[in-house]
Amino acid sequence: MTMPVAFSTLDVRTADGNADSHLARPDDGGPHPGVLFYMDAYGLRPYLREMMEAIAANGFTVLAPNVFYRSGRAPVLPMPESTDPVGHAKFFAALGPMRAAFTPDKALADAQTYLDWLSAAEFVAPGPVAVTGYCMGGRLALRTAGAFGNRIAAAASFHGGRLAVDDQPDSPHHAAAGITAELWIAHASQDDSMPPEQIARLDKALDAAHVRYTSVVYPNTRHGFTMRDTPVFDQAAYDRHLADLLALLRRAQQAR
């Protein structure tokens, strides 16, 4: 049985300013295990609230920061129509400078701030938290797990891209040795940003580091398959993702 959810907006103070953020939690006044939710490149928007509330209704306190806060408050750019692929291509072209400004070092500095916020929040139970991320957020989730070790109980990446690029020092597979969390990594079957050779390279790095992980390809899906407000949304894959994510979070909760 799911729980009623309370939703709010807030600012998380970082070294570089205020990260406007969304918070969803069970509306019972008590503390629950924390989840850091990394958005996709489209940013904080009503649909992500829906996703956060689905997680929170199952007993978790979910924080989703606007990782592009240095470039403006969400929505940093207006969301294109879901059925307009040309509009989505133009969106990503305009987003380029904002993504470039969000450097790997800044990403990890922000991650520490978000983890500290969760540790201090009255609605978050003591102990390590979980991280879930989508598209570029999947990459951030794995990098956070690698950088913060036992502060992370579980980490999930859904249709994350460029997770195992040898010539990129910040590629998540280079940080596998620092991961103590259980991982769930769900790939799209059609994804130029995460081709089979990268999946194999990531699995090899995780095996060498003795990481507990599941690496799975959801069939007949494209990059971004969980996102209802984009042209690549797949309902069956979204439902599977939510079931797989909640199972991971519950395993982490039982291990606390």
Q: Helices (DSSP H) in the chain: which residue ranges?
A: 46-56, 85-101, 104-120, 136-148, 196-208, 235-254
Report the predicted TM-score, pTM, of the whole model to 2 decimal places.
Answer: 0.97
d(CA 36, CA 34): 7
d(CA 93, CA 87): 10
Mean pLDDT by 10 residues, the chain (256 residues): 96 98 98 98 96 98 98 94 90 93 97 98 98 98 98 98 97 98 98 98 98 98 97 97 98 89
d(CA 132, CA 235): 19
Among 104, 119, 94, 106, which residue's Cα sits nearest to residue 36?
119
Q: Which residue has the tokens 């994510």?
A: 245
- In CATH, 5-254 is 3.60.15.10: no
CB atoms within 10 A of CB 3: 15
d(CA 197, CA 208): 17
Whole-number pLDDT of residue 94: 95
Whole-number pLDDT of residue 242: 98
* Residue 41: strand, helix, or coil: coil
CB atoms within 10 A of CB 141: 32
Please give the structure tokens belonging to residue 75: 């929505």
d(CA 71, CA 56): 28
Phi, psi of 115 (to 5 degrees): -65, -40
